[in-house]
């Protein structure tokens, strides 16, 4: 299969996701392990001007996920972060920057999102860059299919829309904080896995922690 066929197949798979026709295969997994694989791929494929700072959680980050799809979503966010520090800069600007990620747990109430699960505790994967940043008007549209601010030869028109669809399928959500010329942070929220699907308050208080520095 040549490159054009690969791109066509990938586009077809993305469209299936957006149309909610893609079957997901859920299992229990540790996101620390997934991030180790993603970090390795990023270090191998990203420009050497990008410094990667990895902060893993000291305990397993247990979630119920489709491994292939969740790793695809996280990789897409990392790739977008890398682009914000390289190809999306002006030609006379210095290339590169810092891509960092960290895990922590956070309590989320119904005021923040209407789809919270009963236990209200989420793992947060925060992926940050020191790139060009995102303006407020663009931030409002960033998860729309075919919306892009990148050069025409970069095939990413569906990437963030697909990321949004994947995270939503996992009963999660995404927060974005950004400042122009300073960088962007994507916070991916995924439900903390519990055996009975409904964590007691006392149990939740035992696992909740402040974000790592």
Res 210 pLDDT > 50? no
What's the pLDDT at 158?
52
pLDDT confidence of residue 5: 42
Q: Which domains does the chain have, with CATH numbers?
A: 3-207 (3.30.565.10)
Predicted structure pTM score? 0.78
What phi, psi does 188 have (nearest 5°)?
-95, 120
* Helical axes 67-84 vs 31-45, angle rounded to 10°: 40
pLDDT digits (tens, 9 = 90+) for 152-202: 433 444 578 889 889 988 989 999 999 999 999 999 999 999 765 444 333
31 pLDDT exceeds 90? Answer: yes
Q: How many CA atoms lie within 13 A of 66 on its CB side?
A: 18
Q: Could you report the per-residue pLDDT of 32-47, keeping only the tens digit for each?
A: 999 999 999 999 999 9
Residue 46 has a CB neighbour count (10 Å cut-off) of: 20
pLDDT of residue 126: 98
């Amino acid at each position: 299969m040549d490159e054009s066929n690969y791109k066509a197949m990938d586009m077809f798979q993305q469209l299936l996701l957006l149309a909610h026709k893609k079957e997901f295969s859920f299992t229990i997994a540790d996101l620390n392990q997934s991030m180790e694989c993603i970090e390795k791929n990023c270090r191998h494929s990203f420009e050497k001007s990008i410094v990667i700072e990895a902060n893993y959680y000291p305990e397993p980050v247990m979630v119920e996920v489709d491994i292939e799809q969740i790793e695809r979503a996280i990789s897409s966010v990392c790739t977008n972060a890398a682009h914000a520090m390289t190809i999306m800069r002006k030609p006379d600007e210095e290339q590169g920057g810092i891509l960092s990620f960290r895990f922590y747990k956070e309590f989320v109430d119904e005021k923040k999102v209407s789809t919270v699960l009963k236990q209200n505790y989420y793992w947060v994967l925060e992926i940050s860059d020191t790139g060009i940043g995102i303006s407020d008007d663009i931030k409002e549209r960033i998860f729309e299919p075919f919306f892009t601010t990148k050069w025409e030869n970069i095939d990413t028109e569906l990437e963030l829309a697909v990321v949004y669809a994947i995270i939503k399928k996992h009963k999660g959500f995404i927060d974005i904080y950004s400042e122009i010329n300073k960088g962007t942070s994507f916070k991916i929220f995924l439900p903390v896995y519990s055996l009975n699907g409904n964590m007691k308050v006392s149990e939740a208080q035992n696992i909740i922690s402040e974000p790592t520095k």
